[in-house]
Amino acid sequence: EDQVTQSPEALRLQEGESSSLNCSYTVSGLRGLFWYRQDPGKGPEFLFTLYSAGEEKEKERLKATLTKKESFLHITAPKPEDSATYLCAVQGWREYGNKLVFGAGTILRVKS
């Protein structure tokens, strides 16, 4: 069974204090690993898709990396507006179609 574990559950940072969120996964053949951001009371917002180990993608203060067992979401010099829940999800070849298996998320709070 495909599984995704995110850590930490919650993270408090001071503005400008860089850090990383972890997403560990087990999947029978990775088709894609996805990062989303979710604000309270809203649907998830797509951030990145990673397909193979060694791949990296960047967007503003965020950088996502992928290995064969985990992905990291690095946040450089975060700002209060980066506060949100960050969700990691995987698509495996076992599942027909493009069903996603989500982790529980990491709640990020950035204080000014």
Partner 1 sequence: GAVVSQHPSWVICKSGTSVKIECRSLDFQATTMFWYRQFPKQSLMLMATSNEGSKATYEQGVEKDKFLINHASLTLSTLTVTSAHPEDSSFYICSASAGRYQETQYFGPGTRLLVL
Residues that bind partner 1 (CB under 8 A): 31-32, 34, 36, 41-46, 49, 51, 87, 91, 97-100, 102-105
> Closest separation between CB of residue 16 and partner 1, Å?
28
> Nearer Cβ to partner 1, position 14 or 46?
46
Among the listed residues 83, 88, 77, 76, the one whose alpha carbon sits nearest the alpha carbon of residue 3: 88
> Nearer Cβ to partner 1, position 31 or 63?
31
> Closest separation between CB of residue 99 and partner 1, Å?
6
> Nearer Cβ to partner 1, position 17 or 95?
95
Question: What secondary structure does DSSP assign to 11-74, as a single string?
Answer: EEEETT--EEEEEEEE-SSEEEEEEEEE-TTS--EEEEEE-STT-EEEETTEEEEE-SSEEEEE
> Nearer Cβ to partner 1, position 25 or 34?
34
How far is Cα 15 from Cα 38, in angstroms, rounded to an integer? 19
> Closest separation between CB of residue 13 and partner 1, Å?
20
> Closest separation between CB of residue 43 and partner 1, Å?
4
How far is Cα 95 from Cα 48, in angstroms, rounded to an integer? 21
